[in-house]
Chains A and B, each alone.
Chain A
Amino acid sequence: MKQKEGVIKPKTKRAKRFLDNRAPKLRENVKNAMIMKGGNTSMTVTQALKDIYALKKPSAVLYKKKNITRPFEDSTSLEFFSKKTDSSLFLFGSHNKKRPNNLIFGRLFDFHVLDMIELGIEKYNSLSQIKNSKCPEGTKPMLVFAGEAFDHDDDHKRLKSLLTDFFRGPVVPSVRLAGLEHVLHFTALEGKIYMRSYRSLLKKSGCRTPRIELEEIGPSFDFVLRRTHLASDDLYKTAHRQPKALKPKKKKNISHDTFGTKFGRLHMQKQDLAKLQTRKMKGLRKRRGPAAAAEGETSSKTAKVEVE
């Protein structure tokens, strides 16, 4: 594939733009997610996949056909699909007797599987079951992770990172204050993970910051953590390596003191103080001899007299 990329030159500007969009970049695009079904799925699973697709639109693709693969055993099919649609996140839903209502969240690095975490749905309320007005598609959600497990347990830590990656949306420099509507709340409690989706209403409070009232909208899941396939430490480190160009440039020779005053530093060459050019003051000029000095005195004397 890599070999063919350089060999086939794009013939139109549009093709060139398309290929440049998919090429590795300094600042990457939003991660696309592919949502697919396994060999056997139940109504819960299909509805759940549709709801998560609605949350993740437009940076997601929902496949309608069943794919008879097992991600934990053979991930070649997933890697092929990710290359075709340029997706680095996937959600695989399946249902069998041993693992009912199964969802596998996963992500890829360089089109190879990085992490996979399997969650089982115990209770599920779909978008259509909760009847009220929803948030518009594509709003950047606020994510909240509650519970000690997200800090102590390794599996839960990776799950936290994966869920942030999955749901965060595009990275933007600024956000409209009135548009902070969608909240996704994850609670880890007693080995279970509760996911709830709310719409936040900004009510007037006495001061500038509004008071928040929540209204449940979206899908609500009660997950139980099943199998995990986490990346090895060195692969994880390689995936996190950022290019040097992205590091913020340090400004040298500028310092701030405790009061907030900004100090700068100038570096000068060594100067011969005897030959320095300063302001010329006529009175301080050197006279030629004692005669000159006496003149100076008499003149001053006369000046004194005049004043008096």
Chain B
Amino acid sequence: MAACSIEGLLAKAEQDEAEKLKSITVQKELDLEFDIGNLVAYDKNRIDIRLFREQKKEDFLRSLARDNTQLLVNEIWKHPTERVEEVIVVKLPEPTTALPREKPPPKPRPPTKWEEFAKLKGIQKKKKTNLVWDDVAKEWKRRWGYKRVNDGTKEWLIEVPETADPNEDQFAKRNKAKKEKVAKNELHRLRNIARAQKIKVPGVGLTPTAQQSKTDLARAVNVAKSSTASAGKFQERLPKEKAPRNTGKKRKFQPVIGNFSNEKQRQLDLLKVMDSKKPRLDVNKAVNKQMREDDREESAAKFKKGGKKGRKGGNFSGKGKGGGGKGKGKGRAGGKGQGPPSGKKGAGKPGKR
């Protein structure tokens, strides 16, 4: 009797469970594959095309989606959860689908010359504190950087050593030494980078690039010529070689206290120019110059286009292509013509527009 009731109870419990799970179970032929790390589900079951055509497309797709999503959610809910600040959160595993990377994995940096030497000698890096106590100012100052301890450039008093020339500027000497140190550091840093990336760096002179133009080669020759002890003063030139242009100072300034009469003359000339009624800019001359330049450009462009097309396939109707080229050139020149005159102070070209 007791046995019957127990069996009955068990059966009832099973039925209840089945009822509960009915709402979330989905029947599928093949089990889906899941990648919970990416929240992806792959359904490999065959889709009945007849059913798809009979039903309305959207309804069929929606029911299929609902079933698949239910299975995916069932799988997600199987994973462990935890409570983070009043919110229940499920812990996802690592994604399993292999997806390509964005960039190649990082390569370890090859050691610099100093690092190799330190490894060889067994020198360990000593960790230094950032702040150092300064007795003079009675506070903690940085070891390096802004407002640092032992700032050589901020010294207001430098003793002239006995072995030095009394007329030498010690402050300038210090500045120059610092600039040289900085430049040396920068050179070594770039050399380390070049060594790391296996780019060849020459000992002296300019680095050769792949395609060198005429100006690049000329520049290289000039640099090589002036890298002698007397800065290229006694280097002979080849018979037909021309002197290098664009060397020397880019801007020339008058000395502050020089020729007084010259300065007076310049100031008076300036006043005379400001007084005169004639405008400095000769508008006519400027406009004519611009028009001549535009015509020259237009003809050069037409020639280039005409020349190229003629070379390629000569049978084409020259008239049609020429006309097209002409129209294009005119349109471009018109556009170009508009630019510079509007730049100039009000000297527009209404006729051309």
Which A residues contact B (CB, under 8 angstroms)?
Answer: 2-3, 6-7, 23-26, 28-29, 31, 88, 107-110, 114, 140-148, 150-151, 160-161, 164-165, 168, 171-178, 180, 183, 185, 187, 189-190, 194, 196, 198, 200, 202, 205-214, 216, 236, 238-243
Contact = CB atoms under 8 A, between A and B. Distances in A.
Given A142-B40, A175-B39, A187-B61, 11 more contacts: A7-B190, A109-B104, A146-B45, A164-B40, A164-B97, A171-B37, A189-B47, A205-B20, A214-B66, A241-B101, A241-B105
Contact of B106 (A24, A171, A236): A24
| Residue among A88, A110, A174 with the highest chain B CB neighbour number at 10 A | A174
Interface of B: 19-21, 23-24, 37-47, 49, 52, 57-58, 61-62, 64-66, 68-70, 72-74, 76-77, 81-82, 84, 87-92, 95, 97-106, 190, 193, 196-197, 199
Nearest to A185: B65
B101 to A, nearest CB: 6
B42 A150 contact: yes
Contacts, number: 187
25 contacts: A3-B199, A7-B193, A24-B106, A26-B106, A31-B102, A140-B39, A142-B40, A142-B41, A147-B43, A164-B38, A164-B99, A165-B99, A174-B92, A175-B39, A175-B89, A185-B68, A194-B57, A205-B20, A206-B21, A206-B23, A209-B24, A211-B24, A214-B66, A239-B100, A240-B101
Contacts of B43: 144-147
Nearest to A108: B102
Interface of A is mostly: mixed
A110 to B, nearest CB: 6
B105 A26 contact: yes
A34 B319 CA distance: 44
Contact of B103 (A110, A174, A177, A214): A110
8 closest Cβ pairs, A-B complex? A206-B20, A239-B100, A243-B105, A185-B65, A146-B43, A24-B103, A88-B102, A205-B23
Contact of B102 (A28, A160, A180): A28
A278 B72 CA distance: 60
Contacts of A160: 42
